[in-house]
Structure 1
């Protein structure tokens, strides 16, 4: 059965799903969705995702939205392919899940806001709100402090190997590396080494070349 991903080039959520598919060495038919033309609000797209957001993943009769749900399915459904992105041991899996939740609940809110202000607004010819940037830098710093402590004890956030806990960070981290917020990561040596590691993965490199300039 064909694997189909409906998404938008440059969308962090779309890139998160693609990264998981490429880590698994899977062929995926990518269907571009134009947000500018409101293709995500078309009746057909809304039949796939009633919230009208990208990405949407199809595998036979299965239709999934929400990028983290997609990556989890891909990791589990294709466990024998490519990189093992999840732990089978229940205790290791539980720890991995903790850091997946940390990404979604702690890292993503601040990093997404910073990515919008510092990357996407300039891309769209809009003016960055420096007050908002300062506010969310302060929110990101304590999260990175916790990461620095964790990564001093473990090579990756989820454990001793690269997993979804790390992969989920890739899109926003990549965008922020081209902004002044990079200094927050660089100031923490273990975080900086981890960032260099995960951003250099071949699967992510394949995704990153799609990024709009």
Structure 2
């Protein structure tokens, strides 16, 4: 039956799943969900994700939602394909678990709020809340200070190999690039090098450029 991804090529969470599939060198079919018509809030999509959010994945009889859960499934199920993306034991596994949590609970919530203010509000004709931008820019700077210290010791955020902890940052980094908060990356040399490194990976670039190719 093959792997099917129900999502949008430019959508943040979909980027994670598509990049993971590319890193694993797996064939898949992207079924674009018409968000403007509200297809994600209707059947049959709700049978894949009852919360009505993209992406969702089908792999034979397996049906999954939540992008980080999907990337874990891809990494473990297809561990012998492409880039490993995970550590399976010891301190390396523990570090991976820690930094995956950091991305989900420290980095992404702040970047998502900035993306709403700096990207999505304009798309909906809404006014940017400059006070909110300032507040979340300050918060993100503190998070990236921690990243800078970490990346001064390791090539990637969870160690010396590229893993899901790095890959899961791709949507947030995409939002930051070219925005008024890109300077937060540029001002931190280790963060800047890490960002450029992971975004330039062929598997990442293929996904990040999808909307430009449409």
**Does TM-score exceed 0.5, indicating one fold?**
yes
Q: Could you tell me how far 1:80 is from its partner in structure 2?
A: 0.8
Task: Give the equivalent residue in structure 1 for 2:157.
Answer: 157
Shift of residue 124, structure 1, vs aligned partner: 3.9
Note the residue ranges of structure 1 that are not aligned, 5 or more in a row.
none
Contact residue 119 and residue 176 of structure 1 kept, 8 A: no
Distance 1:3 1:60 in 2: 7
Q: CA deviation at 1:34?
A: 1.2
Separation (CA, whole Å) in 2 of partners of 1:190 and 1:41:
41
List structure 1 runs of 4+ shifted beyond 6 angstroms. none
1:87-124: per-residue Cα shift (whole Å, max 9, x none)?
12332111111000000000000011111211222344
Partner of 2:87: 87
Residues 75, 84 of structure 1: 8 Å contact kept: yes
Q: 8 Å contact 1:170–1:199 — kept in the other structure?
A: yes
Q: 2: distance between equivalents of 1:65 and 1:131?
A: 34
For the residue of structure 2 that corresponds to 1:175, the secondary structure is helix
Distance 2:203 2:139 in 1: 29
Instruction: Report the Cα distance in structure 2 between the residues aligned to 1:120 and 1:109, rounded to whole angstroms.
Output: 15
Under a length normalisation based on structure 1, what TM-score does the superposition of the two structures give?
0.96
> Match of 1:54?
54
Q: Where do residues 1-213 of structure 1 align in structure 2 (5 Å cutoff)?
A: 1-211=1-211
Q: How far 1:9 moved relative to its partner?
A: 2.7
Offset of residue 171 of structure 1: 1.1
Give the match's secondary structure for 2:151.
Answer: helix
Query: How far apart in 2 are the matches of 1:170 and 1:110?
Result: 14
TM-score normalised to the size of structure 2?
0.96
Structure 2 unaligned blocks of 5 or more: none
The Cα offsets for residues 39-63 of structure 1, whole Å up to 9 and x where unpaired, read as 0111211111110100000011110
> In structure 1, how many angstroms separate the alpha carbons of the residues matched to 2:7 and 2:111?
21
Change (3 A) 1:189 1:180: same
SS of match in other structure, 2:37 = coil
Q: Distance in 1 between matches of 2:124 and 2:19?
A: 25
Aligned-residue Cα RMSD (Å) equals 1.3
CA shift digits 1:160-183 (9 cap, x unpaired): 110000000011111211101010
